[in-house]
Amino acid sequence: MAKVYYDRDADLAFLNGKTVAVIGYGSQGHAHAQNLRDSGAKVIIALHEGSKSKAKAEADGFEVYTVQEAAKLADLIMFLMPDHMQADIFKNQVLPNMKPEAKLLFAHGFAVHFGQIVPPASHDVFMVAPKGPGHMVRAMYKEGKGVPCLIAIYQDASGKAKEFALAYASAIGGGRAGIIETTFREETETDLFGEQAVLCGGVTELMQQGFKTLVEAGYQPEMAYFECINEMKLIVDMIFEGGMSWMRYSISDTAKYGDMTAGPRVIGEESRKAMKQLLTEIQDGTFARDWILENQTGRPRMKKWAKAAQEAPCEAVGKELRKMMPWMEQKEVPKF
């Protein structure tokens, strides 16, 4: 089992007299910046020209600089802009301007682990990654609680990288919940695998194939949508709250018997092989290479896929059904 650190293991004094530049003021950025400030750290925000979030950062009382300016001022530089942009911003705006001993912080390991960012050896490089969305990181902090956090040390030039990582994690509230140490490799590879095989790729394809099977067999699409897509939330909520055992304790015995007999048939040998193959392609860099290339060429495959995915038959059915649910805010997704 992983070792867990708490506030008592962290010393916020490591942040005394230091300036933290948070690059980006989105989901994670606004939460880190405000929690750090409330914990006593000096925080500045770095954003690009014409940034949509600049007004929000200023309204929240922060000084907003360009990335170049902020890099000159900062002792700790936290990268909280989209992952695929980090390498370019590092190379062109941070690297030429940063102090010789500035610490480089990340909330996800992709750019560093896959060699998109190669930090000079004289800099501490570490990760502080809350295991929750930014609004939760901020809301929990305000309630005196926190969201569990990961830390990982990639480069320890000062000999104190871990102390700084623990101090930062504690300052954003992670030490109230628990801080787990990992590595850039483990965080990056498990994150990619989880979203591909299970959370995003796996789950949406499972739902859609279930929906399709019922509709092709002549059942009403509304029934198929409820049974194979909409009700996923009820099951996942129970797993989230008390594990699979709690979910199984709550469902009918008939559902449990079906769970037992059908699960391993749907996710059979072929799927298990595909999962191992996905992991291999994550580990050997094939996935990272493909994704970087896709970005460099203007995302042609993603654009085509996103349009088709938005037009999938289940999406229109779900939209109509949600109008029958007055407690739900009706979402409008921008068209591709």
Contact range with Mg ion by CB under 5 A, out of 18-26, 29-37, 187-195, 317-325: 187-195
The residue sitting closest to ligand NDP, measured at its beta carbon, is: 26
Binding partner at 119 among ligand NDP, Mg ion, none, C-beta below 5 to 8 Å by kind: none
Angle, CA 149 vertex, CA 70 and CA 161 arms, to 5°: 55
Residue 150 beta carbon to ligand NDP: minimum distance, rounded to whole angstroms: 9
Chain centre distance of CA 157: 27
Q: Among 42, 103, 108, 176, which residue sits at the site for ligand NDP (rule: CB under 6 A)? A: 108
276 binds, among ligand NDP, Mg ion, none (CB under 5 to 8 A by kind): none
Distances (CA, A) of 147 to 137, 180, 314: 6, 12, 34
Contact between 62 and 43 under an 8 Å Cβ cutoff? The reply is yes
Residue nearest to Mg ion (CB): 191
Buried b (16+ CB within 10 A) or exposed e, 110-145: bbbbbebbebeeebbbbbbbbebebebbbebbeeee
The answer to whether 171 contacts ligand NDP (rule: CB under 6 A) is no
DSSP conformational letter for 111: H
Q: Indicate which residue of 32, 48, 84, 108 is catalytic.
A: 108
Under the criterion CB under 6 A, does residue 47 sit at the interface with ligand NDP? yes
Distance CA 149, CA 168 (A): 10
29 makes contact with ligand NDP (CB under 6 A): yes
Give yes or no: 113 in active site.
Answer: no
- Residue of 11, 60, 156, 191 interacting with Mg ion (CB under 5 A): 191
Chosen from ligand NDP, Mg ion, none, partner binding at 85 (C-beta under 5 to 8 Å by type): ligand NDP
| Ligand-binding site membership of 50 (annotated) | no
Residue 183 token pair: 């590595």
**What is the distance between the alpha carbons of residues 168 and 18, in angstroms, rounded to a whole number?**
11
Distance CA 281, CA 197 (A): 12
Interaction between residue 182 and ligand NDP (CB under 6 A): no
252 labelled ligand-binding = yes
Question: Can you tell me which of 41, 81, 149, 161 binds ligand NDP, judged by CB under 6 A?
Answer: 81
Q: Which is nearer to Mg ion, 154 or 211 (CB)?
A: 154
148 binds ligand NDP (CB under 6 A): no
- What is the total residue count of the chain? 336
Query: Which tokens hold the place of 12?
Result: 């916020």
Q: What is the DSSP track for 131-172?
A: SS-HHHHHHHHHTT----EEEEEEE-SSS-HHHHHHHHHHHT
Residue 243 CB burial class (10 angstroms; 0-12, 13-18, ≥19):
exposed
If one asks whether residue 186 binds Mg ion (CB under 5 A), the answer comes out as: no
Q: Does 52 bind ligand NDP (CB under 6 A)?
A: yes
| Binding site residue list | 25-28, 51, 53, 134, 191, 195, 227, 231, 252
Catalytic residue numbers read 108
Residues making up the binding site for NADP(+): 25-28, 51, 53, 134
Contact positions toward ligand NDP, by CB under 6 A?
Answer: 23-29, 46-48, 51-53, 67, 80-83, 85, 89, 107-108, 129-130, 133-134
